[in-house]
Structure 1
Amino acid sequence: YIYKRFPQLHIHRSDFNLDWPELWAHLRMGLPMAVQFSVLGLGIIILQSVCNKFGSDQIAGFTTAMRVEQLALQPMISFGIAMAVFTAQNFGARRFDRIRDAVHRCSLLTLAFSLFAAVVVFAFGEEVIGIFLDNPSPTVMEAAHLYILYTVPVYFFLSQIFIYRNACQGMGVSMIPMLSGVVELIMRSIAAIYLSVPFGYEGICMAEPIAWISCAVFVFAAYHYFVRLLEKKYTPVN
């Protein structure tokens, strides 16, 4: 009955033929994203390798703080996914006004979340860290708490990376996510390597905020450039 009513649902052998232009379109979007995640993973490895020089307590504190950070990242990742889907749909409809409005609203929402996260961590930081540790030593707790105190105040910049990077991805500007990952890798690596010399473990804690702020500035500028460029390109001249 379904096939009779909806004949377009019939599956034919031709449906499985490779459409090279469509395949290339998927590769053009997917490969830069794959490179982006590889580059970000490399940055975390470099940061961890520098941290390993400071002893087991600092390693344990840093690893625990990263777990807390991953927990806080989940709402930001969700905003980013929603932004990519919404932007792609409205880019197809050439509704750049909706894209701009969505980016603005998501920025305000993530600002509220960042402030909430900062209040929770500053008020209950040790309790949050204690969720991931059993009877930690004071040194481990101090190392984890120090990292969080440096990173939480710049969660807003981290959230903007997800919003603007995914907005660019939704508009088909696939190179921006990859380049933003490169910017983040370079700044994180330079900061971790060179700041750890005069400041020790505290220099590693500074590396993430420096990387996030630098990357946020890059994707912010890239988004505003390309949204104006694409809007001008696809808006008909009366």
Structure 2
Amino acid sequence: MKYKRILLKLSGEALMGDKSYGIDPSRLEQYAQEIKKVASQGVQMAIVIGGGNIFRGGQSERIGIDRVQGDHMGMLATLINGMALQSALEKIGVFTRLLSAIPINQVCEPFIRRRAVRHLEKGRVVIFGAGTGNPYFTTDSAASLRAIEIEADVVLKGTRVDGIYTADPEKNPDAKRYVNVSFEEVFNKGLNVMDMTAFTLCKENNLPIVVFDMNIPGNLLKLVQGEEVGTLVTM
């Protein structure tokens, strides 16, 4: 395996599949199977998942909800997704732990860095919920922060596109995909990878990022094995 400890970032919208809201059971099962393939190879896996399929805090003010309140609602949405993913993984025999930045002791464990690392060392898949526990921070920022804290080898950002392009490939058919790109190039060219806080955290801590298509079966395992999948962002 190219990577021994990874942090996988999934968007909440990815769980919708072809639906317009909520969780698509077939997509949830697909992701669980992909994660199991990697975990069964002895790779230590942590996961951060968004909540945009249920509620997005950044849009709360449009519907008359205070931004801080809305962000906390979004954090709870990530916990709902985390619980769903945990259930899907345990259903197929993968031991997991859900750790929350907001204490909800009846549902999951509080985030404690040493405890998270110990779970990983014991071969459990660790799901981090509730973002950073603070408003105004995205789950991308939570993914970068948690990856640094647990000393992950890489952040794998699973999306619906197969990497970083010179332009939006869904709008511009002439857009070219990068195989490798530097942090500096991403910044100078204004390429869309993560929000700037998350991206800067990775850059300052020399933490590589791989953007890839999570919806293609086998992609996650190929990536961890060292095959050229998606776009790699490094120093």
Q: Same fold by TM (over 0.5)?
A: no
Higher helix proportion: 1
Normalised TM-score (structure 2): 0.28
Compare the two structures and name the one with the higher strand fraction. 2
Which structure: larger Rg? 1
Q: TM-score, normalised by structure 1?
A: 0.28
